[in-house]
Amino acid sequence: MAGFKTTLASVSLLVTLGLAHAPAEHWNGPHTGPDFRHPYGRPELSTATGAAFTSGSGSDSPVATGTASSVGSAACGYPGGGPTATIDVGVLHGTTTSLPAATASINQFLGVPFAKSPPTRFGPPESPQNFSQPINATSWSPACIQQFVYPEAAQLFVNSVFNNPAPPESEDCLYLNVYAPSTPAPADGRAVMFFLYGGSLQFGTAGQITYDGSAFASYEDVIVVTTNYRTNVFGFPTSPELPDTGHNLGFLDQRFALDWVQRNIAQFGGSPKKVTVFGESAGAFSTDALLTSYPRNSTPPFRGAILESGQYSYRPSRSTLPAEPWEQLSAALGCPGNYGSNLTCLRAANASAIKDTIEKQILVFNPIPDNVTLVSSPARRRLSGDIARIPVMGGTNSQEGRIFTVGQTNTTAYLTGLLGANPSNLGEMIATVEAAYPLGQNGLETPYDQIAQVFTEFIFQCPQAKWANDSASIGIPTWRYYFNASFTNTQAYPNLGVYHASELPMVFGTRQEVLRTTQEYALSNAMMSAWATFAKNPSRGPGWNPVSTGQPGTVLVGATAQEIGGQYTGPNGSVLHGSWDLGVWGNRGNVLGSGVTVIPEWEVDYRCELFEPIYELISGTAGS
Ligand X SMILES: *[C@@H]1O[C@H](CO)[C@@H](O)[C@H](O)[C@H]1NC(C)=O
Give the residue numbers marked as catalytic: 281, 400, 500
Residue 14 near residue 500, CB atoms below 8 Å: yes
- Mark the segment that binds ligand X (CB under 6 A) among 149-157, 260-268, 271-279, 569-577: 569-577
**Which of 79, 385, 440, 589 is close enough to bind ligand X by CB under 6 A?**
589
Cα-based distances in Å from 96 to 72, 77, 192, 530: 9, 11, 18, 25
CA-based R_g, the chain, Å: 23
How far apart are the C-alpha atoms of 290 and 305, rounded to whole Å? 10
> Taking CB under 6 A as the rule, which mask of x and - marks residues 73-112 in contact with ligand X?
---------------x------------------------
- Mark the segment that binds ligand X (CB under 6 A) among 3-11, 49-57, 180-188, 282-290: 49-57
How far apart are the C-alpha atoms of 452 and 455, rounded to whole Å? 5
**Which of 139, 146, 170, 293 is close enough to bind ligand X by CB under 6 A?**
139
412 part of the interface to ligand X, by CB under 6 A: yes
- Mark the segment that binds ligand X (CB under 6 A) among 141-149, 389-397, 502-510, 598-606: 598-606
The nearest distance, CB 453 to ligand X, in angstroms, is 12
- Mark the segment that binds ligand X (CB under 6 A) among 131-139, 162-170, 219-227, 297-305: 131-139
355 part of the interface to ligand X, by CB under 6 A: no
* CB proximity list for 177: less than 8 A, separation 6 or greater: 108, 109, 110, 111, 112, 140, 206, 207, 213, 225, 226, 227
121 part of the interface to ligand X, by CB under 6 A: no
335 part of the interface to ligand X, by CB under 6 A: yes
How far apart are the C-alpha atoms of 280 and 374, rounded to whole Å? 17
336 part of the interface to ligand X, by CB under 6 A: yes
Cα-based distances in Å from 473 to 119, 137, 454, 612: 41, 44, 26, 17
Subset of 522-541 contacting ligand X (CB under 6 A) = none
The nearest distance, CB 330 to ligand X, in angstroms, is 3
587 part of the interface to ligand X, by CB under 6 A: yes
Q: Which is nearer to ligand X, 224 or 465 (CB)?
A: 465
Helix (H, G, I), strand (E, B) or coil at 135: strand
Alpha helix ranges (H) inside 45-123: none
488 part of the interface to ligand X, by CB under 6 A: no
608 part of the interface to ligand X, by CB under 6 A: yes
413 part of the interface to ligand X, by CB under 6 A: yes
Q: Which is nearer to ligand X, 276 or 313 (CB)?
A: 313
Cα-based distances in Å from 158 to 18, 260, 282: 11, 31, 15
The nearest distance, CB 599 to ligand X, in angstroms, is 6
The nearest distance, CB 573 to ligand X, in angstroms, is 7
622 part of the interface to ligand X, by CB under 6 A: no
Subset of 272-331 contacting ligand X (CB under 6 A) = 327, 330-331
Neighbours of 229 (CB within 10 A): 30
Residue 292 near residue 286, CB atoms below 8 Å: no
Which residue has the closest beta carbon to ligand X? 56
Minimal CA–CA distance to 482: which of 434, 525, 442, 542?
542
**Which of 376, 549, 551, 567 is close enough to bind ligand X by CB under 6 A?**
376
Amino acid at 414: Y
60 part of the interface to ligand X, by CB under 6 A: yes
Q: H/E element holding 617? A: helix 612-619
Subset of 238-257 contacting ligand X (CB under 6 A) = 240, 244
The nearest distance, CB 78 to ligand X, in angstroms, is 10
How far apart are the C-alpha atoms of 25 and 142, rounded to whole Å? 30
The nearest distance, CB 225 to ligand X, in angstroms, is 20
Q: What is the dihedral of CA 209, 211, 213, 214, to 10 degrees?
A: 10
How far apart are the C-alpha atoms of 270 and 75, rounded to whole Å? 17
Residue 174 near residue 260, CB atoms below 8 Å: no
Residue 215 near residue 99, CB atoms below 8 Å: yes
Classify residue 248 by burial, with Cβ atoms within 10 Å: 0-12, 13-18, 19+: buried
Q: H/E element holding 468? A: helix 462-473
Number of residues that bind ligand X (CB under 6 A): 50
Helix (H, G, I), strand (E, B) or coil at 418: helix
The nearest distance, CB 572 to ligand X, in angstroms, is 4
The nearest distance, CB 101 to ligand X, in angstroms, is 28
11 part of the interface to ligand X, by CB under 6 A: no
The nearest distance, CB 368 to ligand X, in angstroms, is 7
Q: Which is nearer to ligand X, 43 or 391 (CB)?
A: 43
Interface with ligand X (CB under 6 A): 43, 48, 52, 56-57, 60, 63, 88, 130, 136, 138-139, 240, 244, 327, 330-331, 335-336, 342, 350, 352-353, 369-371, 376, 398, 410, 412-413, 462, 465-466, 469, 484, 548, 557-558, 570, 572, 574, 584, 587-589, 602, 604-605, 608
